[in-house]
Amino acid sequence: MSEIEITIFNQKLKLSYQDNEKQRLINAVETLNNSWSKFSHLYGKVTDLKIITLISLELQDSLDGMHALKDNEAQLVNKIELLQKEIKSKNAQLEEGLEKIKKYETDLSEKKHEISKVENILDELNIEVSNIKNNILKKKDE
């Protein structure tokens, strides 16, 4: 463990820390000292304990706000996950619908082709009937 000498609330302290925590410790001290500076207008008017209490309240409020934000973030993540699942479900339904449409279009094309064949056969039959009619009329006239 290493040691660092720092100043918190205008008092020098020697603190031990893990090497990987040095920057976090420095940042925490800066935050506390900045909070102390915010209340500098109270120096001499109230006790240091009251200033420290105000700083503690402010920091606790910040922590509560961060927890609320974290909870809100978790709720939003859950909503996003639900929406993503819903989107996947809707996409699957859309794909199914598109496949059905494709099948119906294929069936329709086949039916149109069959109708065209039937129409051609009917046209041929009409021509034959017309020819037979004309032949009958010719024979009758003869």
71 and 33 co-located in one domain: no
Cβ atoms of residues 54 and 47 within 8 Å: no
Q: How far apart are CA 131 and CA 125, in angstroms?
A: 10
- Number of domains comprising the chain: 2
pLDDT at 87: 99
84 and 27 co-located in one domain: no
pLDDT digits (tens, 9 = 90+) for 78-107: 999 999 999 999 999 999 999 999 999 999
24 and 61 co-located in one domain: no
pLDDT at 52: 87
DSSP string computed for 34-94: HHHHHTGGGBTTB-HHHHHHHHHHHHHHHHHHHHHHHHHHHHHHHHHHHHHHHHHHHHHHH
Mean pLDDT, 10 residues at a time, over the chain (142 residues)? 86 89 91 86 87 91 96 98 98 98 98 98 97 91 76
78 and 24 co-located in one domain: no
pLDDT at 114: 98
Query: Residue 70 is part of which domain span?
Result: 45-141
11 and 60 co-located in one domain: no
pLDDT at 69: 98
129 and 62 co-located in one domain: yes
pLDDT at 126: 97
- pLDDT above 90 as % of the chain: 66
